[in-house]
Amino acid sequence: MALSSILSKLQSLDSDSHGLHYSYLALGASLIFTLYSLRLVVFRLYFHPLARFPGPKILAATTWFETYVDLFHHDFPQRLSKIHDKYGPIVRVAPNEIHVNDADFFQTVFVAAAKHRTDIIPPRGLGQDDSIGSTRTHDMHQLRRKPLDKFMGLQNIVRLQGMIHEEIRTLDQKISALKNSGKPVRLDCVFTSFTGDIVGRLACGESPSLLEGKDFTPEWYDMIRGAARIIPLLRHFPQLGEATRMLPNWLVQALTPRSAGFRVLQELGEKRIARVRAEVARETKSDGEEGGSMFHHLLRSDIPDAEKSTERLNAEAVSFLGAGTYPTAATTIFVAYYILADPKIEERLREDLKDVMANFDEEVPNFTKLEQIEYLSACIKEGLRLLRLFRRKSRISTDLDLQYGNFTIPKGTPVSLSPYTMHMDPEVFPEPEKFKPDRWLGGNLDPRMKRNLNPFLGGSRNCIGMHVAWAQMYLMLGTLFRPNKNYRLKLGDCDESDVYPVVDNEFGVAKYDSRGLNAFVV
């Protein structure tokens, strides 16, 4: 009995010692982490190569403050503008990043390949890690982009615009068929389906026929908006996006519904790439080259075989389907709202479109002719200015230091500028928050406006799809607001708050509970 009691006490002591052991381990780990964090903060604030650059200490010390703002307030670009008001045109916006608020410095940072090489910090977690837009190094970016520069160039887009004309006919017929139906039309869904069809045809040679879907396939719009909404989270926690790629889509939908949109894009891209790859594999010299899409072109090119891998081309497909669909559609949505909301703008536009669209029923005009309509161009530029990229964009000069005033920025440092601040500069654009296309017309044109307007960025990494974006915007707006047609659009149950960008999802988007752009066909 006594022995049993002694053994019981020993077991109790042993159990207690194990508990103390784990407690000490946890305490020790916490202490090590705290000391490491303090050491890191001290280094960043006082010994880092960027320590002498001005800016808030909290941004120099950690990225967690920006993470908090991005996830809960969505207004870091606005806060950054106020930081510049306090600290001047150059600030340290992150432990390893410099931000410059000076449009004259844009050409120094976003340079052509002939001047010097530029790397980027690529986005992760979006399923497009190996795409052209997400390629980290300059040399690899040039290798991947070169086969597509000519294909996506202005001359080739002009040659290929017949496919845009076909979609324009479908758009016009579908809208006309709703005349006097009393049924509201979600123009945001219309424009997003239109751009989705064009990107599908351009990239893979196959239209998803989104315009033909019921109510213009609102599921596509909802999916694209949902995918964009998850961007702030994936920006700071890319591991979440990478983890979801290993899970079945139904489980992703259940666990994180907003990230499911990226999975749908991935699966859609995979299917299209597999089909194109099979078509190219079956080709013979006697057959000729039938498919003329971007991926047909890539698979026939002489780039290394590793660059034609299924994984890499799938990443390219996600990038093109996402980036090629919503930004162009969003700008068209935004511009269309202001045209419909202001009778003076609409009447001026209708009058200016009268001649160039006179023979629309027989032939859709070349978009380069619509580019010559000064007022239409002014409306689109004003839309691009206001529906701006919210997120700052950076480049890394790998070959040489950059000089800004008295500050030498070491090579290898990410240096960013914000289209947001350049597009909203009140000295260049008086009343910058207002949609005023007249500011882009002859006598009112401030030469600094052209310098500040950078919706497609610049240099060797500018937007490769900008020409097809311009073509779609000109043709969609020119078609819907031409005077010689049997219908007109009338604004429905929506207002400016349903389209005005207030949330940073990389590009600006309207409030999350937006009713969309509703219109009636009369």
Q: Say if residue 189 carries a ligand binding annotation.
A: no
Say which residue the tokens 């310098």 belong to: 451
Rounded-to-10 torsion of CA 105, 109, 114, 120: -170
Give φ, ψ of 358 to 5 degrees. -60, -35
- In sequence order, what are the residues at sequence separation of 6 or more whose Cβ sits closer than 8 angstroms to the Cβ of residue 472? 164, 194, 195, 198, 328, 332
CB atoms within 10 A of CB 476: 27
Pair of tokens at residue 278: 């099979």
Three-state SS at 409: strand
Task: Give dist(CA 118, CA 112) in Å, integer.
Answer: 9
Three-state SS at 208: coil
Instruction: Return the bridge partners of 393, or none.
Output: 417
Query: Please, what sign has the CA dihedral across residues 454, 261, 268, 167?
Result: negative
* Alpha carbon distances (Å) from 206 to 75, 269, 311, 325, 456: 38, 11, 20, 15, 26
Long-range contacts of 274-282 (CB under 8 A, 24+ apart): 274/310, 275/204, 275/206, 276/204, 276/205, 277/310, 277/313
Task: Give dist(CA 31, CA 330) in Å, integer.
Answer: 49
The DSSP secondary-structure symbol of 110 reads S
Quick one: which of 242, 236, 283 has its CA closest to 262?
242
Query: Please, what sign has the CA dihedral across residues 126, 131, 137, 138?
Result: negative
Contact (Cβ atoms closer than 8 angstroms) between residue 433 and residue 424 = yes
Give the residue numbers of the binding site for heme: 463
Give the residue numbers of the binding site: 463
